[in-house]
Amino acid sequence: MSLDLVVRGGTVATAERTFRADVGIQGEKVVEIGNGLSGKTILDATGKLVLPGGVDSHCHIEQLSGMGVMAADDFYSATVSAAHGGTTTVIPFCAQHRGDDLKKVLADYHERARTKAVIDYGFHLIIANPDEKTLARDLPDAIGSGIRSFKIFMTYERMRLHDEQILDVMAAARREGALVMVHAENHGIISWLAGRMVKQGNTLPRYHAICHTRGSEAEAIERVIRLAELVDCPILIVHVSTPEGIEAIRQARARSLKVFGETCPQYLFLTAKDIDIGIQGAMFCCSPPPRDEAAQEACWKGLKDGALHVYSSDHAPYRMDASGKLPKGDKTTFKEMANGVPGLELRLPLLFTYGYGAGRISLEEFVNLTSKRHAETYGLYPRKGTIAIGSDADIAVWDLEKKLTVEKTHDNVGYTPYRGRTLKGWPVAVLSRGKVIVENGKLGAERGRGRFLARAPSEALKPLGRDVPEISQLKAWNTPLQL
């Protein structure tokens, strides 16, 4: 059999091992891994690394934010940007706001992505309206269609759920087989402090980082872990930024609870000092905010010891103008600016330079944190997240020696928080289902070629089957709690 394409002579790395091999591709799939393969087309990877394409399981694309602001990236600009940085799968959100009909939300997002995405995509839901119809009918239908995870918010006036609602959503997730992702920050602390700050005339972006205290993250994480334990529902805490929050997750995991943690580039590579540059600090405002060097270290440690399970971008793209960060120009207060930073394109190159290149993590850990764990946790493995026979040929060929100073990225944000950094190690060719979609910085993908990925139930979302004492007591009395 003559292969369609052979990625020849490179060093292949998966989350398990690193080895020299050619990768043979037929159509959209990897069909052979070995030496001396020949094919109709050869992609020379001599001296380069051949890695699974990145899977970014947390990004916001063409989405209305918690504050009601439309993201600057649509499915075309976001996925083009992702592809340039070596990411070949994204899992953004379909966001239900208060009062929204979930079925309609889903149909809208499918339509937005279908005609524009250049790489494959799944969806999570955001649930802000957990009414009877949503929980009993629309959620099960969405889960049945392969959308097996949803995010809930403990803060943001327009999105946050009360503890009872969180328990309702968790019960539905447990019943139907989905993973609950949690934005864990204590709303009362943030809004109380923000009110005081504004009253005192302290409205610059730097006060945003003051209001989102470390304790607000830790309290919410601790609370939501107790809620999840009550209904035996696996959870994943997104964008964890503090040593205290990471420790809460570590302790829950030490009790064998299914609690997963995620962190993002902004918590490894930025600090609150970046925000303290006047109104321009809006570029670095995200929730939770970047902290300090000690918190960065805690995030690295969490990634190493497993307290943090995945490293995602939380790409939340807003421009430095009235459409996003600065609705009232220079007069915009930190309470009024859209929260979020871009990161789809640089997520992998940043971790490659500061993680693998700096000797903090191995190549296998790099693949695990950027690709395999995401695919595994969210039900896409082994189709995505590895280079193996039968997997989709989603591959990034990395030049270890290539150095570039970050100027601008391919998204529609107009700035990057990482401008001016010199990164060493870049993806020079990126394949999606066997097609070279980026080569030496040139895009070769047509709009709408990306496909929706219906996701399977994963190990991560299976309940433990372990009850807290009160729930056990109910069972012993033969009056079990009905979820």
Q: Give the shortest CB-82-to-Zn ion separation in angstroms.
A: 15
Tell me if 284 sits within 8 A of 417, measured CB to CB: yes
Tell me if 235 sits within 8 A of 183, measured CB to CB: no
Q: Collapse the DSSP code of 44 into the 3-class scheme (helix H, G, I; strand E, B; otherwise coil) and give the result.
A: strand
Q: Give the shortest CB-264-to-Zn ion separation in angstroms.
A: 8
Q: Give the shortest CB-151-to-Zn ion separation in angstroms.
A: 7
Among 340, 355, 385, 417, binds ligand DUC (CB under 6 A): 340
Sign of torsion over alpha carbons 403, 428, 344, 295: negative
Residue 324 binds which entry of ligand DUC, Zn ion, none, CB below 5-8 Å type-dependent = none
Q: Please enumerate in sequence order all residues whose Cβ is within 8 A of that of 187, keeping only pairs 6 or more positions apart, or say none.
A: 154, 155, 156, 157, 160
Q: Give the shortest CB-212-to-ligand DUC separation in angstroms.
A: 10
313 lies in the binding site for ligand DUC (CB under 6 A): no
236 lies in the binding site for ligand DUC (CB under 6 A): no
Q: Collapse the DSSP code of 323 into the 3-class scheme (helix H, G, I; strand E, B; otherwise coil) and give the result.
A: coil
Number of residues that bind ligand DUC (CB under 6 A): 11
What secondary structure letter does DSSP report for 317? -
For residues 237-266, which are near ligand DUC according to CB under 6 A?
A: 238-239
Q: Give the shortest CB-159-to-ligand DUC separation in angstroms.
A: 9
Largest CA distance in the chain: 74
**Cβ-based nearer residue to ligand DUC, 37 or 264:** 264
Residue 160 binds which entry of ligand DUC, Zn ion, none, CB below 5-8 Å type-dependent = none
**Cβ-based nearer residue to ligand DUC, 66 or 434:** 66
- The CB density around residue 449, as the number of other CB atoms within 10 Å, is 16
For residues 165-224, which are near Zn ion according to CB under 5 A?
A: 183
Among 84, 112, 183, 291, binds ligand DUC (CB under 6 A): 183
Distance in angstroms (rounded) separating the CA atoms of residues 19 and 39? 21
Q: Is the peptide bond before 382 cis (omega within 30 degrees of 0)?
A: yes
Sign of torsion over alpha carbons 97, 103, 108, 110: positive
Among 120, 314, 365, 392, binds Zn ion (CB under 5 A): 314
What secondary structure letter does DSSP report for 154? S
**Cβ-based nearer residue to ligand DUC, 183 or 206:** 183
> At 70, which amino acid appears?
M
Q: Please enumerate in sequence order all residues whose Cβ is within 8 A of that of 404, keeping only pairs 6 or more positions apart, or say none.
A: 422, 423, 426
Q: Give the shortest CB-399-to-ligand DUC separation in angstroms.
A: 31
- The number of C-alpha atoms within 13 Å of 95 and in the hemisphere containing its C-beta is 21
Distance in angstroms (rounded) separating the CA atoms of residues 483 and 481? 6
Residue 339 binds which entry of ligand DUC, Zn ion, none, CB below 5-8 Å type-dependent = ligand DUC
63 lies in the binding site for ligand DUC (CB under 6 A): no
262 lies in the binding site for Zn ion (CB under 5 A): no
Residue 252 binds which entry of Zn ion, ligand DUC, none, CB below 5-8 Å type-dependent = none
Q: Give the shortest CB-148-to-Zn ion separation in angstroms.
A: 18
Among 149, 271, 287, 386, binds ligand DUC (CB under 6 A): 287
Q: Give the shortest CB-146-to-ligand DUC separation in angstroms.
A: 22
Sign of torsion over alpha carbons 108, 111, 116, 117: positive
Among 14, 339, 368, 377, binds ligand DUC (CB under 6 A): 339
Alpha-carbon dihedral of residues 458, 461, 466, 470, nearest 10 degrees?
-160
316 lies in the binding site for ligand DUC (CB under 6 A): yes
Residue 291 binds which entry of ligand DUC, Zn ion, none, CB below 5-8 Å type-dependent = none
Among 100, 314, 376, 411, binds ligand DUC (CB under 6 A): 314
Which residue number has the CB closest to ligand DUC? 316
Q: Give the shortest CB-179-to-Zn ion separation in angstroms.
A: 15
Q: Give the shortest CB-155-to-ligand DUC separation in angstroms.
A: 8
> At 40, which amino acid appears?
K
Distance in angstroms (rounded) separating the CA atoms of residues 288 and 285? 8
Q: Both tokens of residue 381?
A: 């493995």
Q: Both tokens of residue 163?
A: 């503890």
Distance in angstroms (rounded) separating the CA atoms of residues 312 and 295? 17
Residues that bind ligand DUC (CB under 6 A): 60, 66, 183, 238-239, 286-287, 314, 316, 339-340
Residues that bind Zn ion (CB under 5 A): 183, 314
